[in-house]
């Protein structure tokens, strides 16, 4: 009898230790990614052997969209994200629980756009931007610390320097809970700005050439921070780098940056085995389709090359007007850089950003769909449009004459 009691106690103790071990590992290894092998492995449902006919179906990016996206790229995001259709039908409620989240991709004109958000929106209670301070206080009316805007110039880089879609969706609610001292559910309106990939890439190259590094970026994915990503340079920065050297670094995060920053990186193993040759085509396919899907689900995005259209879509989507119009720059440093390149170098830049090229083509089509939809629903379209493209002229024209 004593032997059976001892055996039962031994088995019970063993089960208890096992359960405690599982709980401990689960706590330390969120989403099991710290147990991932050195080389990322892709889910079998994204196997390259799967036929394209079975992996694709119609997913409307807007009420009139015919763009095909991959289904099954299931995100694990647990926050309430508002899509474009819901945004323009219901608007943005600055007094309730709505938050605009700006996903700022490097060298897309996001700094200028970010300043428009905090300085130029025509609000009853505009953001307070004290002199000699980089950030503004964008609090909801009748509150002292509730933010309606999550961006560089309002909250700062609370989810990391130039946080991407994967970082922001995992971090934003906790960051606001901590900032406001209150845990609550909010509605998030994600927005971003895209740019022609060649111009953006060369602009980033020039920026890095002058000493920029973005070393403090977190690269947070799947519950852990990837701190061991290799650098393309030795020393503190890459000042003076030549374009060919910049392009030849295979793990340069400038390559296809817009696609990577808009995709759900957990679908492709985060940064584990980043840019290795094994499974690279399949990884690229997953990232591109995820980036398209996330872009289509955003409440708003603009294009650097289409400032007036971008401004119009923002104003009609959020039912908020800007006091100052977006400027369309006709000449940039990147344009000057392109003029100095050989045809072979231009082609190489294009190859390195082929995913971004396809993403931009998708974005252009989607932007036009949204523009045409909002235009049809706007009884004062011509007056609103003239205000953006010819502001002085629109002030002199009576709205009744614009028929």
Neighbours of 191 (CB within 10 A): 23
Known catalytic residue: 255?
A: no
- The position carrying tokens 């901590």 is 178
Cα dist. 369→189, 289, 306, 315, 346 in Å? 19, 19, 14, 16, 30
Nearest to 27 by CA among 160, 272, 207, 223: 223
Secondary structure (H, E, C), the chain: CHHHHHHHHHHHHHHHHHHHHHHHHHHHCHHHHHHCCCCCCCCHHHCCCCCHHHHEEECCCCCCCCCEEECCCCCCCCCEECCHHHHHHHCCCCCCCEEEEEECCCCCCHHHHHHHHHHCECCCCCCECCCCCCCCECECCCCCCCECEECCCCCCCCCCCCCCHHHHHHHHHHHHHHHHCCCCCCEEEEEEEECCHHHHHHHHHHHHHCCCCCCCCCCEECCEECCCCCCCCCCCCCCCCCHHHHHHCCCCCCCCHHHHHHCCHHHHCCCCCCCCCCCHHHHHHHHHHHHHHHHHHCCEEEECCCHHHHHHHHHHHHCCCECCCCCCCCCCHHHHHHHCCCHHHHHHHHHHCHHHHHHHHHHHHHHHHHHHHHHHHCCCHHHHHHHHHCHHHHHHCCHHHCC
Which one is catalytic: 104, 116, 162, 199?
162
Residues in the chain: 403
Neighbours of 255 (CB within 10 A): 22
Active-site amino acid positions: 162
């Amino acid at each position: 009898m004593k032997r059976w009691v001892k055996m039962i106690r031994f088995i019970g103790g063993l089960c208890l230790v096992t359960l405690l071990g599982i709980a401990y590992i689960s706590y330390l290894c969120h989403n099991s990614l710290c147990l991932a092998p050195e080389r990322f492995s892709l889910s079998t449902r994204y196997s390259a052997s799967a036929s394209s006919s079975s992996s694709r179906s119609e997913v409307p990016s807007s009420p009139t969209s015919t763009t095909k996206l991959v289904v099954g790229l299931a995100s694990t995001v647990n926050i309430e994200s508002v899509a474009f259709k819901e945004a323009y039908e219901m608007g943005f409620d600055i007094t309730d629980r709505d938050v605009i989240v700006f996903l700022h991709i490097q060298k897309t004109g996001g700094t200028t756009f970010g300043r428009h958000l905090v300085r130029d929106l025509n609000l009853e209670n505009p953001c307070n931007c004290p002199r000699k301070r980089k950030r503004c206080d964008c609090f909801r009316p009748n509150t002292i610390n509730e933010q309606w805007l999550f961006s560089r110039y309002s909250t700062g880089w609370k989810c990391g320097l130039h946080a991407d879609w994967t970082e922001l969706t995992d971090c934003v609610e906790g960051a606001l809970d901590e900032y406001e001292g209150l845990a609550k559910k909010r509605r998030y309106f994600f927005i971003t700005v895209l740019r022609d990939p060649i111009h953006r890439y060369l602009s980033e190259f020039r920026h890095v050439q002058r000493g920029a590094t973005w070393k403090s970026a977190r690269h947070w994915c799947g519950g852990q921070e990837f701190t061991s990503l290799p650098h393309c340079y030795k020393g503190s920065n890459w000042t003076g780098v030549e374009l060919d050297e910049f392009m030849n670094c295979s793990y340069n995060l400038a390559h296809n940056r817009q696609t990577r920053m808009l995709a759900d990186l957990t679908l492709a193993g985060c940064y584990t085995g980043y840019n290795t040759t094994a499974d690279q085509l399949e990884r690229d396919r997953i990232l591109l389709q995820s980036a398209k899907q996330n872009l289509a689900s955003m409440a708003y995005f603009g294009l650097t090359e289409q400032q007036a259209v971008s401004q119009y879509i923002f104003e009609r989507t959020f039912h908020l007007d800007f006091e100052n119009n977006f400027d369309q720059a006709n000449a940039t440093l990147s344009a000057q850089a392109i003029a100095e390149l050989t045809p072979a170098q231009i082609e190489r830049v294009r190859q390195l950003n082929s995913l971004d090229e396809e993403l931009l083509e998708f974005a252009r089509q989607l932007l036009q769909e949204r523009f045409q939809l909002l235009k049809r629903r706007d009884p004062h379209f011509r007056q609103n449009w003239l205000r953006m493209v010819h502001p002085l002229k629109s002030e002199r024209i009576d709205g009744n004459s614009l028929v």
